[in-house]
A and B are shown apart, each in its own frame.
Chain A
Amino acid sequence: MKRFIPWLLTFIAGAAMIIDYFVPHRVFGSITAELKQWGLIVVAFSYILGVANVVRIQGNKISRRDPDWLNSIVLVVSLFTMAGLGIFHKHQGEGTPFIWLFDTMYDPLSATMFALLAFFITSAAYRAFRARSTQAVLLLTAAILVMLGQVPVGAAIWGPDQLLGGFPGIKDWIMDVPNLAGKRAILMGAALGAISTGLRVILGLERAHLGGN
């Protein structure tokens, strides 16, 4: 019973969403719209759960004086400061404390994490692009050709008005033909896999996500 009722709800909701795609009648549409609203509300309330989880885990670290417990204090203080400013103080418009914190702390920190990608691509490429096999040679050759085709230096060495369109022309061909073909093939396979997984879940063939014994 503990697994049957969740499965039944999964089946009803899943089947309703599939049917909704084909049945335009507004009575059915209003039922599925209501279900979607319920989903949104449940997800919104789940953030209370998330905050409680953060406070509990970090609180335990602080009380036990675990290694790096000072970082846990910073985390909890930041969480309540930002949330408090957003809820109890003006949170929109230039010059407000919330926006100031967002502009001076959150935005640069996000940008910094994003900027790490440039460095990590370098170390990943240096490590991974070794000619260990034929496929690896193809991979690193394609990478080098695309990188050269993408910048002015490559065009200066072998320009677009020369044979085969130079590095830019070769780069365009790699991106437009084999890359696009592979991308579309993966997408089609993944789409079939996704439908298959969804069907397994709706029919109850897969129940691991429902928990229980």
Chain B
Amino acid sequence: MRSIAWSSLLVLWASAAAALPAVQNPVAFDTPNDGGHSITVAWNKEDVSPEAMVVVERVAKNGEAVEVGRVLALEGTFVDGPSAEGAEGPPDAQPFTYRLTTISAIDSLQAPSTPAVTAVSTAHAQIFNTDRVNVLLLLSVFFAFVLYNVQRANRGEKFHVRKLAPVVAIEEAIGRATEMGRPVLYVPGIEEIDDIQTIASMLILGKIAEQTARYDVPLRVPVRSPFVLAVADEVVRSGCMQAGRPDAYQPDRIQFISSEQFAYCAGVNGIILRERPAANLYLGKFYAESLIFAETGFAAGSIQIAGTAEVTQLPFFIAACDYTLIGEEYFAAGAYLTQDPALVSTLTAADWAKIMLVTLLILGAVLQSAGMPEFSQWFIVR
């Protein structure tokens, strides 16, 4: 009997000795800067086995425990929150503790650790993401510049904008088209309507439609997206109305080609080669097809004016087109064409913002080089 008791004790002791150690210093806290239903659990990840896995259980006030996930112990944290698999996360404003049990990731026979338990925590939704204070501050400053300059414009102040040769050339191109009796081709880029470059293109298209209607020049607008078709159609129609020429609006001239990039490219090339427009305007976001358009337009003898903020396509347009609006010049073109003081004033605001940015850049570079990275660290966007 005594030997059986000793053997049992030995077995118990051996199995206890083989159990994995529990994680140290477990804590649970509301996940910061989130939309609620999320609690983060953390533990000390030093001195844990690389093959240890932590089983995380959420324990409610009534003692009901639910396993919410498993993670390698070396990770050191686990977020109990909404997941792509449909997990809801802990409800807000309810107290929970978390039970962390260490098991082996590869040896299912090894005994688990005794559970480590965290203190009580509750989940809450935050109203403001404090990691983005830097973005809010900079945007607010820029908005203030814009609003202040619009106020100045409303008070009658004049703003100087340097001459944009490509924009001046647009009027000359339309005049050329009138003399030659050939159409103007307007390609508004290949992106969807939610791209800011496409929106800017629609703004310019309205002015172009007005001018071409006034001079009785046919305007062709092939588009890649049906949504852009709807907007372009309305913009051209209202441009013709603005010019007092509703009869100039021809819905067949605004045409959806294809949503496939190179099918659209082939379609536009076909229009250029068949109809031989006097002027081609490429204003929007482009990708690889930019040079194909420009070269085909050159072969057709068209005067070509391009504008894009797509840096990779600018060299092709600059090489192959007669005039190119580069980057922010493209966004300024819409305001420039109207000469509306309120719109032109926003260009001044953008210039002020640029001066501010350059100053911050120089300051950041100097401080970083002097071994003070805190200033530039503040600008990191999380």
Contacts and interface: CB of A to CB of B under 8 A. Distances in A.
Q: Do A and B come from one complex?
A: yes
B196 A188 contact: no
Q: Give the interface size bracket for A toward B.
A: 35 or more
A127 to B, nearest CB: 7
A93 interface: no
Nearest to B332: A193
Kindly name the residue among A46, A114, A123, A193 whose own CB sees the greatest number of chain B CB atoms within 10 A. Answer: A193
Given A50-B256, A200-B346, A120 B199 contact: no
A43 B199 contact: no
Contacts of B314: 186
B158 interface: no
B241 interface: yes
Nearest to B227: A46
Contacts of B225: 43, 46, 50
A198 interface: yes
Contacts of B298: 127
B311 A50 contact: no
B255 A53 contact: yes
Interface string A34-78: 000001001100111110011011001000000110000000000
Contact of A206 (B265, B295, B334): B334
Nearest to B326: A186
A25 interface: yes
Contacts of B33: 24
A183 interface: yes
Given A26-B36, A195-B142, A186 B327 contact: yes
A121 interface: yes
A187 B311 contact: yes
Nearest to A29: B35
Given A196-B146, A211-B238, A109 B262 contact: yes
Contact of B125 (A26, A183, A210): A26
Given A110-B260, A205-B346, A188 B242 contact: no
B75 interface: no
Contacts of A88: none
Interface in A191-213: 192-201, 205-206, 208-213
Give the interface SS of chain A, mostly helix, strand, loop or mixed. helix
A56 B252 CA distance: 9
A130 to B, nearest CB: 11
Contacts of A60: 252
A197 B132 contact: no
26 contacts: A25-B35, A25-B36, A26-B36, A28-B35, A43-B193, A50-B226, A50-B259, A57-B255, A68-B274, A113-B265, A114-B262, A116-B292, A120-B291, A121-B291, A129-B319, A186-B326, A186-B327, A188-B354, A197-B331, A199-B143, A206-B334, A208-B206, A208-B238, A209-B199, A211-B231, A211-B234
Given A21-B132, A113-B262, A196-B331, 17 more contacts: A24-B34, A47-B226, A53-B226, A56-B252, A117-B292, A120-B292, A123-B295, A186-B314, A188-B357, A189-B328, A193-B332, A195-B142, A196-B350, A208-B203, A209-B206, A211-B235, A213-B242
Interface of A: 21-29, 39, 42-43, 46-50, 53-54, 56-57, 60, 67-68, 106, 109-110, 113-114, 116-117, 120-121, 123-125, 127-129, 183, 186-190, 192-201, 205-206, 208-213
Interface of B: 33-37, 125-129, 132, 135-136, 139, 142-143, 146, 150, 192-194, 196-197, 199-200, 202-203, 205-207, 225-227, 229-231, 234-235, 237-239, 241-242, 252, 255-256, 259-263, 265-266, 274, 288-289, 291-292, 294-295, 298, 309, 311, 314, 316, 319-320, 326-332, 334-335, 340, 342-343, 346-347, 349-350, 353-354, 357
